[in-house]
Amino acid sequence: MDIDSLLGRATERLAQAGSASPRLDAEVLLGHVLGVDRTWLYTWGDRAAPVYERARFEALVAARAEGNPVAYLIGEREFWGLALTTSPQTLIPRPDTETLVEVALELAPATGGRLLDLGTGTGAIALAFASERPGWQVVGIDRVEAAAALATANA
C-alpha cells in the first residue's frame, strides 16, 4: 500500500471517529512514525509505505480514534516555533495560549524584567516569552513534579 492510500484510509477512520482535523492528524502521526515532515508525505505519496511501520501507525490511528490527543501520542507539540515534549501529566499548549504570550509581549518592556509562570506545565509560556525577551529573568514553577521536570527538559 502506498503512503497516499494509507493516509486516505486513516483519514476516513479518524473522520468517522469525529476528529476535527482527520487528515492533519493522520499526516502528523505518519510523519512521526516515518521520521519525516508533512511535505515529504505529499512529495513521496506514491511510494510504498514500509510494512514494519504500518502496524505502529495503525496503532496510533486507533488510539487517536479513541480520543487520545495527537500531542500525547507523539510526545510533542509545536508552540511558538518551539518543539515541546508533552505528556499526560501536563496540559497541551493551545493556540489560545499563544495569544496570551502575544499580549504579554505587547505589555512587557523590551528589556529588563521578570516573569513568573505559575503552573508552567510544559513550560510553553515561559519558554516562548524567554525566546522573545532574552534579557528578562523568566521562571516557571509547577507543584506537579513530573510537570516541572518536563518543563526543565524542554528548556
Q: Look at residue 36 in the predicted model and tell me its pLDDT.
A: 95
pLDDT tens readout for residues 93-108: 999 999 999 999 999 9
pLDDT tens readout for residues 16-54: 999 999 999 999 999 999 999 999 999 999 999 888 899
Q: Where in the chain are all domains bearing CATH 1.10.8.10?
A: 3-74
CA dihedral 21, 34, 46, 41 (to 10 degrees): 50
pLDDT tens readout for residues 70-84: 999 999 999 999 999
Q: Look at residue 73 in the predicted model and tell me its pLDDT.
A: 97
**Cα separation, 139 vs 123, whole angstroms:** 9
Q: So what's the architecture of 76-154 in CATH?
A: 3-Layer(aba) Sandwich (3.40)
Q: Where in the chain are all domains bearing CATH 3.40.50.150?
A: 76-154
Q: Which CATH number fits domain 3-74: 3.40.1380.10, 1.10.8.10, 3.40.1190.10, 2.60.40.10?
A: 1.10.8.10
Asked if 26 contacts 7 with a C-beta cutoff of 8 angstroms, the reply is yes
What is each CA distance from 74 to 29, 47, 150, in whole angstroms?
Answer: 7, 23, 15
pLDDT tens readout for residues 104-137: 999 999 888 999 999 999 999 999 999 999 999 9
pLDDT tier, 142 (very low <50, low <70, confident <90, very high otherwise): very high
